[in-house]
Each structure stands twice: as structure tokens, then as C-alpha cells.
Chains A and B, each alone.
Chain A
Amino acid sequence: MIELFIDQYSSFSGNVDFLFDLITYIAGFWFLIAEGAIFYFLFRYRKKPGVKSEYVDGTNKRHKRWISIPHFLIIACDIVLIIGSAKVWYKIKQSLPEPDSTIGIVSQQWAWTFIHPGKDGKLHTNDDIQLIDELHIEVGKNYHYELTSKDTLHSFSVPTFRLKQDAVPGRKIRGWFKADKKGVVDIQCAEMCGIGHGVMNARLFIHTKEEFRDWQQRQPRFSMTSP
């Protein structure tokens, strides 16, 4: 149901949206049963002249069943949800597929620095392309990111990717994503980082292979002066 509100752009957007739907169906079922029971009882047992309430204290077996059966059903539902959630989490956060490319993300108050590998395809070499508030990637490729922060906590969030990862000063956090559609989407900071938190946005450009090569060609080479 999330996809009705915001497009899916990454290979795992669909998994998150599926998990959302799964929870909605299971939890929604219990929610409707509980609300239904409340309103039915309120109507059925409203005060009527001459009708006294029953003396039931919920200690005999027949009555206890009304609590114990839902109890076991909820445990069963919980197990389904735990497994569903663990699978999605494992795919997004835990199993990092082999990278086609690695980018560096440096967050600071209140801007993003994106370090793209240059033509050699390697990060931290002389031909790296550094850009502020602009990230360029190629569609269909596995990207790893190395997320760091210069000052406070920040959070690298790409809603269309269903991806979010806090940046913590003093740590380098690795993660991955793969875009499966070309376009231009938002990057937002999702962790309170001071008065400029509300303007700490960036744009993510997802290119096709050719476009990406074009873009790469157009970048100035800072390192050309060095031997």
C-alpha cells in the first residue's frame, strides 16, 4: 500500500511494501475483530429496563477459552510477522551482495558530500568525483556505500528506495542499494541534526548506462595536474 503514496525505485522497495501489506492484513484482522466485539457488546448489552447484568468473573474454563484461544492465535501471527520482517531486514541490511561500485557519503551540518569513484572504478583514488548534495548512480548496479559523519548524527534516507541508515560520527557504516528504474529522487536527512535539519536535502540522479558515462565524462578532473 505504500506504493500508492510513493514510487518504488530500488530492488528492495517491493519487499518493504509487501511486509507492510502482510502486517496490514494480519494486524488489521485482529483490529477489526476487537473493534467489532467492542461495538457489538456495547449495543447488545446496553442497559435495558429489567435486565440485570450477569455474574461472570472469567475464572471457569468455558470463559477462559475466549482469552486463551486468541492468545495462541496471536502467537502464531506474531511468528509469521517475525519471520517476514527478518527476511526483509536480512535482504536490506545484513546480506550485502558483491558491489559493482562503492560510493562514499559524508554527512555534516547541513550538507551531504558524495564521493563517486572516477573512471578507475575505485574509491579513494585521485580521480574521485566529489559533489555536494548530488549523488549520481547507474540503474541496475549494486552499489555499496560507506557512510560517515563529520559532526552530529545524520540519517541517509531515500524514501523511494525504502532505505534509511543513520550516520554516526566515529563509525563507517556500510550498506547497499540497487536502483531498478531511472529517475531523479529525494535524499533527506532523517535524524535531527540542528537548526538546518529542515534544509538538509539532496538529489539522487539515477542514470542509464550511457547517460552515466556521459555524466562521468563531463566531470572536471581535479587530479589531472598531479603526476
Chain B
Amino acid sequence: MCVGCKLSGSCSTKGVTKCQPIIAKKTIPQKLKEYLLSTDHKVIAIQYLITGLVMAVLGGYMAYVFRMQLAFPGENVPGFGWVSPGNYNALVTNHGTIMIFWVAMPVLVAAAGNYLIPLMIGCDDMVFPRLNRLSFQLFFISALVLLASFHVPGGGFGGAWTSYPPLSSKEEYSLTPLGAPIWLMAVALEFVAFLIGGINFVTTMMNARAPGMSLTRIPLVVWMIVIASILFMVSVGPLVAGSIMLLSDQLAGTAFYDPVNGGDPLLWQHLFWFFGHPEVYVVLLPAMGIVAEIIPVFSRKKFFGYKAALYVTIATGVLSFFVWAHHQFVAGIDPRMAHLFTATTLLISIPIAELCFLYIATLFGGSIEFKLPMLWAIAFLVEFLLGGVTGIYLGASGSDIYFHDTYFVVAHFHYTFFPIAIIALFAGIYYWFPKATGRHLNEFWGKVHFWGTTITFNFVFIPMFFLGMGGQHRRIFDYRHFPELAGSDMQELRVFATVSAIIMMAFQIPFIINFFYSIFKGKISDKNPWRATTLEWTTTSPPPHGNWEQLPNVYCGPYEYGNPNGQDDYIPQNMAITTKETQTHG
């Protein structure tokens, strides 16, 4: 390309070389390079989302294989083959790891946070756009490292996602000399990516708000993502330290977790769960935030008790650091400790229950419209309540003696994480899709997807509650070895859960087709199709690089629905309320 043209507007080398015009159409490699190195927060958010969804498909495939093995033990699984005990352990381990660290975290914290924080607080981008790019790049590499761990001699790591030493620290126990360290490195790398992202979220929210966007006018989803990021950053330090110790136990022959040489395996459990329990809230809070945005819009109601919601969220976050040992009641810790952790665990039910009450109270007096995002948001509330309630059996030390490491835990866990990482995610996708693409998803196929997913989900996991009550333990590849678990009644429940899981996965196909079809051919959406108040709806769909031509000013709180002073029945945040007596604070 001729540099002269750019500088002077006329070409000085005329007649000597052919000069290309500057506004030449970009070639595909150029476009690709620009896309892959873009520092626009929206582009990064969508890359996080797509990576997360691809990983979800992989995690789902793993679930399909081991569910098939449980339902039809010893038979060839179509699309995989014969499942060895080592395969089974590796699949279970990596299903858990992928779904938490490479699906829930990227889609709920990174994708939602990146997309929404700048748009909702009214700024043009994250304050550290290049750091943001680095965070995604690291995350993407960590995903590749994890997938590589399957293709090394000895196969993928199979010591459960909790990776308790000495099983995970010594290759003669785990029999995966390379799989275990690579798995651990992938996880550690992923933590670094999210640490960088978290710094960005917190700094952006504190420093880059639009004029008038006071702390109590920030939409709840932004608050919740930022609080989640803080929880993550505070809790992950000990685990990164623990991971390095585990890695050096694996590779350098140290003995941090080796009792023969003076170490203690329980140390890892404390470090892991000190992170692991706040992690539950790290993914729960963004999901709660997404639902908190959707419910007011579709019930045309102001959020019931904005400040109360904010305070109980902070209370939950603080309390979540004091409950970790409820994962270790029977792990060999001092039995007297159980009382303390039972008390804190049951106390954390108070802020979470209160948060749910606030959501329910928001419905009160509304004018509820059952559009797709609202259906998913309600499904989140309805299903998550069961997940929350069944947690009490496990938080109470007395009943946890029986339920620890049974399928009751698996069922409870999925009743919280499925609503969080799948149902709330879909709520968010159906809600912000028109903003991100300028087009609507198909309503009919969306409903097929909704009912197909939420109904079959119950059929997958309710049987697991019963199996857990029957004493079925986790992570066992073939129950025929246990006389009490080999009965045909229990086997029928396993088959039922497996068949339901496959049907549920099949119902994701309409979504995938709908998603890609609607990006290009969907019904065109206007700027603000849901008549919502928050700032992201005041710019074009999709928003340009820089988000607004002129950055907005903010005059009122985020949920002014049904306000009698509004022109329609709502007041966007960037519009001044003319009447004086109106309360504008949250």
C-alpha cells in the first residue's frame, strides 16, 4: 500500500507503481486479525460466550457418555465406544471442571460482565481494554491446555474436579502422570485470566460511570457481577498458592500434601473449599443479576427493595467465606468444627431466601408479560428454589453424614448450577440478543426450546435425589458391584435419568439453529424492543465501537417502570423526570 496517499491525499508515485486506494476492502485474513485482536468489550464478550457455549457442548457430550455407561453399563456407547473405569473417571472429572470453570465462569462472569458493565454504566469501553483482550487470550489458551490433557499418554485426569491429594499429587495413585499436571495448569491459567478480568470489572465500575450514575443508580446485574468478581479475587489467591504446591508435589517431589513426609492432605481441601464455596456465589450472583434485570422489565414493576437487594448480596458474599468446611464434615476434621460450619451454612440461607423474596415481591402488582426472557427468568426462580432448599440437608452436619458424596449432592448441585449456568444464561441470551445483533430470536422455536429444556431437566435430576436417598455414591462407573445398588428399581431410575438427559440435549438443537439463523435472518429489532430503562437500550442495536455517539447522562434509578410521571409507563435512565416530587433514588 502506498504511504504517500495516506499522507497527502494524492499519489506521488503515479506512473511508477500501481497505487491501491486506502479504503480497499479488507481481506478476510485482515478482518480475522482485527476480530481476534479487537479490544472492544462487546467483541470480547461474544468471544467469551461462544467459547463457553462450545465448551458446554463438549461438557454435555461427556455427560452423555457417562450417563450412557451408568444406564447400560459395559456396553458400547454410540459415539464413544467402550468406557473403561479410567475413561469414566476422566469424563466425570472433566465434565465438572469444564462446566464450572469453562462454561459457568466465562458465560456468566466474563461474557455478561464484559458486555453489560460498560453499556449499563454508560461508558465507551472497559478502562483497560488491552488487559481485557489478554484475559480472553489466556482463557482461550487455558481451554486448549485442558483439552490437550486428554491426548497425552495415560489419558486425562480422573481424580474428580476437587482433585484431592494424595490421589492427585502422586502419579502412582492417579495413573495419569501427564493428565493430572496439565489439568492443574489449565485450571491455574484460567484463574489468572479471570483475575485480570475481575480487576477490569471492578475498576471500570468504580471509575467510568456516566455523569449522574451514582452507586445506587447502578443496575443490579452490574453490582452483582462486580461483587462476584471481588469474591473471586479474594478467594482465589489461596487456591492458586495451593495449586502451585500441588503442582510441585506432582512434578518436583515436594511433600506439601504427603503425610509420609510431614505434609497433610487436608490442607488442600481447606484451600480448595475456601475458594470453592465462594465460587458458588461467584456464578450465582451474575445469574441472579440477569434475572433481576428481566423480571422488572416484563412485569413493568420497579425492583422491590433495590437497596435491600444490594445489602443482602453483600451479606451473602461476606458470609460465603465462612461456610467452606461444610464440604468436609466427614473428611477427618475435628468433629467440633462441624457445629460452627452448620450454623454459618444455615445462616447463609437467610440472605439468599430474602433475595428470592424480593424477586417474588417484584412480581406483586405487576402487569406480567410472558415473553421468552421472562419465561426463562421465572424458570430460574422456580427451579433454583428447589436447589437452595435441598442444600439445607447437606449444610446440616447430621444429615450430611449420610448424604455426603451421594447422588443427593449431585442432584442438589445440578439444581443450583443448571438454573444458574443454563437457565439464567438463556434468559440473558434471549433478552440481550436483540441488542447484540439487532435481530430477534424466533419466538416459536424459543418456546419449544424453553419447555423442552425446563421440563426434561427435572426428569434428569429428580431421580438422582431418590438414588441418593437410596445410598448411591458418586463417581462409581458400574453399580453392579454393589449388592444394595444393583437392584432393578434403582437401575430403572438411572435409565430414566439418562434418557431424559439425552432428550434435554436434543432440545438444544432448535436453539443452536435458531441462534445462527436469527443472527442473519431474524426479525429486525428496534433500539429498545422490551421498553426497558437501562442505558444499553438507548444506543443502536448492535452498539457501535465506543457504544454511543455522545455518552449519556443519567437522571434516575434503573427500574422506573410503572412510574406515573413517565411518558409511556417507564422512564429511561438518561431521561430527566420533570415533576419535582418524584423520588428518583432507588
Contact = CB atoms under 8 A, between A and B. Distances in A.
Answer whether A and B are interacting partners: yes
A164 B394 CA distance: 13
Most B CB within 10 A of own CB, among A51, A54, A166:
A166
B576 interface: no
A97 to B, nearest CB: 15
A54 B364 CA distance: 9
B302 A56 contact: yes
Nearest to B386: A31
Interface in A170-223: 170-171, 173, 185-186, 188-199, 201, 203
A53 interface: yes
Most A CB within 10 A of own CB, among B84, B303, B339, B369:
B339
Given A5-B471, A92-B398, A159 B484 contact: yes
Contacts of A54: 301, 365-366, 562
Interface string B452-486: 00000000000000100111011111100111110
B553 interface: no
A193 to B, nearest CB: 6
A46 B375 CA distance: 13
Nearest to A31: B389
A92 to B, nearest CB: 6
Contact of A162 (B159, B354, B402): B402
Interface stretch (A115-123, A135-143, A150-158): A150-158
A6 B468 CA distance: 10
A54 B302 CA distance: 9
Interface stretch (A83-91, A98-106, A124-132): A83-91
Contact of A53 (B300, B305, B331): B300
Contact of A188 (B305, B357, B381, B482): B482
A62 interface: no
B350 interface: yes
B550 to A, nearest CB: 30
B265 A192 contact: no
A67 B361 contact: yes
A41 B364 contact: yes
B259 A171 contact: yes
Interface residues of B, number: 98
Contact of A195 (B158, B301, B473, B483): B158
Given A188-B473, A192-B475, A34 B569 contact: no
Interface string A12-44: 000110011001000110110011011001100
A100 to B, nearest CB: 22
B299 interface: yes
Contacts of B475: 192, 197-198
Nearest to B360: A37
A113 interface: no
A109 B173 contact: yes
Nearest to B566: A55
B166 A192 contact: no
Contacts of B307: 59
Contacts of B354: 67, 70-71
Contacts of A15: 398
B188 interface: no
B89 A2 contact: no
B404 interface: yes
Contacts of B396: 19, 23, 81-82, 84-85
B382 A35 contact: yes
B343 A88 contact: no
Contacts of B85: 195-199
Nearest to B472: A159
A2 B402 CA distance: 10
B469 A168 contact: no
A32 to B, nearest CB: 10
A192 B167 contact: yes
Contacts of B137: none
Nearest to A41: B363
Nearest to A163: B401
Contact of A51 (B361, B367, B485, B583): B367
A169 B398 contact: no
Given A2-B469, A74-B350, A81-B346, A56 B308 contact: no
B342 A82 contact: yes
Given A56-B301, A94-B335, A195-B158, A78 B349 contact: yes
B346 A78 contact: yes
Contact of A199 (B308, B389, B398, B481): B481
Interface of B: 84-86, 88-89, 158-160, 162, 164, 166-167, 173-175, 259-260, 264-266, 299-308, 329-332, 335-336, 338-339, 342-343, 346-347, 349-350, 353-354, 356-358, 360-361, 363-370, 378, 381-382, 385-386, 389, 392-393, 396-399, 401-402, 404-406, 466, 469-471, 473-478, 481-485, 561-564, 569, 583, 586
**6 closest A-B pairs by CB:** A170-B259, A88-B398, A159-B471, A54-B365, A85-B396, A58-B305
Interface of A: 1-2, 4-6, 15-16, 19-20, 23, 27-28, 30-31, 34-35, 37-38, 41-42, 45-48, 51-59, 63-64, 66-67, 70-71, 74-75, 78, 81-82, 84-89, 92-94, 109, 151-153, 155, 157, 159-160, 162-171, 173, 185-186, 188-199, 201, 203
22 contacts: A20-B399, A30-B389, A42-B378, A46-B367, A54-B365, A57-B303, A59-B305, A67-B357, A81-B396, A85-B346, A88-B398, A88-B399, A93-B338, A152-B167, A157-B473, A159-B471, A165-B332, A166-B332, A185-B484, A188-B482, A191-B405, A192-B162
Given A41-B368, A53-B300, A78-B347, 9 more contacts: A27-B389, A57-B305, A67-B308, A74-B350, A92-B401, A152-B173, A192-B167, A195-B84, A195-B85
